[in-house]
Structures are given as structure tokens and as C-alpha cells.
Amino acid sequence: MMKSLLCEIDALFLDMNSTFMFEEDNFGDDQDFYATYREIGGDLLQQDMVNAIIRATYHGMEGLYQDPAYYEQFPSVLQSIPAFSSKTKNLSDVELERLTDVFAIHELGTIPDTYASFVIKLSYHFTLALVANIWAPKHHWVAEFKRVNLHTAFEALIFSSDYSFMKPSPKIYQQGLSACNTRDTSRAAFIGDSLTYDMQGAKELGFQTIWINEEAFLNEQKPDAVDVVIPNLLCLKECLLLINESTS
């Protein structure tokens, strides 16, 4: 099934977090946001204040993220910091930008070399587009892509923080389709780990859908919005080898 699906498509649209980027969203109680604030040059605010602001912002945005009413009007981190924390009332724009940067550093994950290498191999066979939900400005993510030489593998890098809409809104998928000049979604597949934010939105637009979920794979569970279930992205290596053999 997986090989036949890949043979029928020209473009792969990839989610990012828990697809090929990991250890993201570091906002737990053990996180020291103040240490990050100091590392990037902050010296005006006290530790308790910085930690309280970032935690309040994260929890506030998390609530909006889960509300379908905000799929097409999701606020930026810079807008959310004063909205969810009264402690920021008298802060300068410079401090608000610095706090936004602290938030971004903790939201950012890491791309393992094995995954970066495999995504590059995928780009030899398919047009690749990234369609990813992130909350902070994208520059830290772009830097991480460059660190692992992945920035040139994609025809398009679509980050939701560049817009007011996010997956599963059709608007963000359409940004990727337009950037790749892809019109026939039946010749494209979307790969991601979220049933709600990746699979359902993509399927409604006619994409083939590949869901990354190890538990569902082991239990042979396949929801209606999913065409194929895989345990992780790297398991596509074998399919690529078979495709190479059949075309050589």
C-alpha cells in the first residue's frame, strides 16, 4: 500500500514537529525561562517575572490553539504576551521582542541528522513542501534547517506564524500548494503526526494522507481521514529502495 501510494504522487507535504523535528515545546515546570532571557542579553526583568510571563503566554495560547474558532485568527506570540500577562503593561517594545525570542527558543526543537539526511533523499524523488504550525516567528526554525542543510530540500517552507491562520484551516495548505505550483492534490500526500491538525485538513482538500502514529500502526488502526499509517518517517526508506529498484 505504501509503495503504491508513493508511486502515484509527485509532491510530499510534511508536517514538522514529531515528524522530523523533535524535543520541541519545552514549557514544562522544569524550564528556566529566565536563564534563556539572560543568555540573549536580558537584564531588566526579574526571574519570577520572566518565568510567569512565558508560562502565562504559553498556557493562554495553548487554550486558543485547541479552539477551532481560532484556526483562522490565531494571534502571534508578540500579541499574546501582553494579552495573557498583566505584568507586561509597562514593558518596552524591545523587552517584548526579547520575551518573544525567549518563547521561540523554548518552542524550537531539534532535527536529528538521520532525519535531515532522509528528508534530503525524499527531495530527490518528490517536490517537498513544509506546512508547519508554530507560534513564534520563524527565524530560529530557518536557522535549524540551515544547520542540517535542509533549507534547500523544500520547494516551500510554510510556517503558520507568518499568517493569522494555521492547520487545519485549508488556507495554509493552499499556501503550500500555490508555492509548489501543485494543483492536483490527488497527486500529493501529506505526512504528519496529528490526526486533527494534519490528516483531517489535508484529506478534506483531497490529499493522500500518511499518519505517523506508532501505537495506531502496531494496533492496525486507521481512522477515516488516513490512507496509510506508519510508525515514523524513517520507515519510508524501504519504500524508496523498492521504488528505486523498480525504476532502475
Burial class (CB in 10 A: 0-12, 13-18, 19+), 146: exposed
Is it the case that residue 122 has pLDDT exceeding 80?
yes
Strand 188-192 to strand 11-14: parallel, antiparallel, or no bridges (unpaired)?
parallel
pLDDT of 89? 86
φ and ψ at residue 17, rounded to 5 degrees: -65, 130
Cα–Cα distance measured from residue 201 to residue 209, given in angstroms and rounded to the nearest whole number? 10
Q: How many residues in total does the chain contain?
A: 248
Residue 129: which H helix or E strand, with range? strand 127-132
φ and ψ at residue 87, rounded to 5 degrees: -70, -15
pLDDT of 248? 47
Q: What is the pLDDT of residues 70-107, one digit of tens each?
A: 999 999 999 999 999 988 888 999 999 999 999 999 99
CB count in 10 Å sphere of residue 185: 21
DSSP code for 74: P
Is it the case that residue 242 has pLDDT exceeding 80?
no
Cell of 128: 517537498
pTM of the model: 0.94
CB count in 10 Å sphere of residue 137: 19
Is it the case that residue 42 has pLDDT exceeding 80?
yes
Amino acid identity of residue 34, one-letter, is: Y
Nearest-10 Cα torsion for 147, 152, 155, 161: 30
Is it the case that residue 245 has pLDDT exceeding 70?
no
Burial class (CB in 10 A: 0-12, 13-18, 19+), 59: exposed
Q: What is the pLDDT of residues 156-170, one digit of tens each?
A: 999 999 999 999 999
φ and ψ at residue 205, rounded to 5 degrees: -95, 0
CA angle in degrees (0–180, nearest 5) for 75-91-160:
20
Q: What is the pLDDT of residues 183-235, one digit of tens each?
A: 899 999 999 999 999 999 999 999 999 999 999 999 999 999 999 999 999 99
